[in-house]
Amino acid sequence: MTLFVDASVLVAILAGEAEADTLADRIEAEQVRLCSAVSVWESVTALCRSHSLAIPTARTAVRRFLTAGEFEFATIGEQEFEIAADGYARYGKGRHPASLNMGDCFAYACAKSRGAKLLFKGLDFSLMYIEPAF
C-alpha cells in the first residue's frame, strides 16, 4: 500500500513526541512512502516555530529523515489543486469542524489522488470521511 505522510507526523517523529516510535513503525511498514513539497515545507517551518530550530537545522533534519525513509515526493498538479479546493470547500477552516488549512488540504489531495492512506496526527482529519492509516 502507498502511504502519504502528513507534516504533523514528520514533526512528531523529528521532535521526539510521545507517539514518535509508533508513527515511525507505521511508516516503516509501507513500501511506498510519500510526502510533498508542501508537507516538507510545513514540517520545516513547524520545527522552527514550535521547537525553536534554526531553518538550516530543521531543513537538514527533515531531509535526512526523508532520505533514510526512502520517501518519494508526490507532485502537485491540476488534479491535486482541484481535490484540495474541494477539500477546503467542504472541510476548511470556518466551514467544517475539521478546520483544514492549506497544508492539510494538499496532504488530503495528494493522498486521495494516489489512492494512498493518509498518516496524520491530531483530530483534524479524523473529523472527515477518510480512512486513516493509523
Q: Specify the residue for cell string 491535486.
A: 80
Across 99-113, average pLDDT = 91
Q: Is the pLDDT of residue 60 over 50?
A: yes
Cell of 105: 488540504
Three-state SS for the chain is CEEEECHHHHHHHHCCCCCHHHHHHHHHCCCEEEECHHHHHHHHHHHHHHHCCCHHHHHHHHHHHHHHCCCEECCCCHHHHHHHHHHHHHHECCCCCCCECHHHHHHHHHHHHHCCEEECCCCCHHHCCCCECC
Give residue limits of the domains in the chain: 2-126
Specify the range with the lowest mean pLDDT, choosing from 8-12, 40-44, 98-102, 130-134.
130-134
Instruction: Give domain 2-126's CATH superfamily.
Output: 5'-nuclease (3.40.50.1010)
More confident residue, 130 or 109: 109
Compute the distance between CA of residue 56 and CA of residue 63 in angstroms, rounded to an integer.
Answer: 10
pLDDT in tens, 3-56: 999 999 999 999 999 999 999 999 999 999 999 999 999 999 999 999 999 999
Q: Is the pLDDT of residue 76 over 80?
A: yes
pLDDT higher than threshold 60 for residue 74: yes
Give the residue, 20 or 91, on which the prediction is more confident. Answer: 20
pTM of the model: 0.89
Cell, residue 109 = 489531495
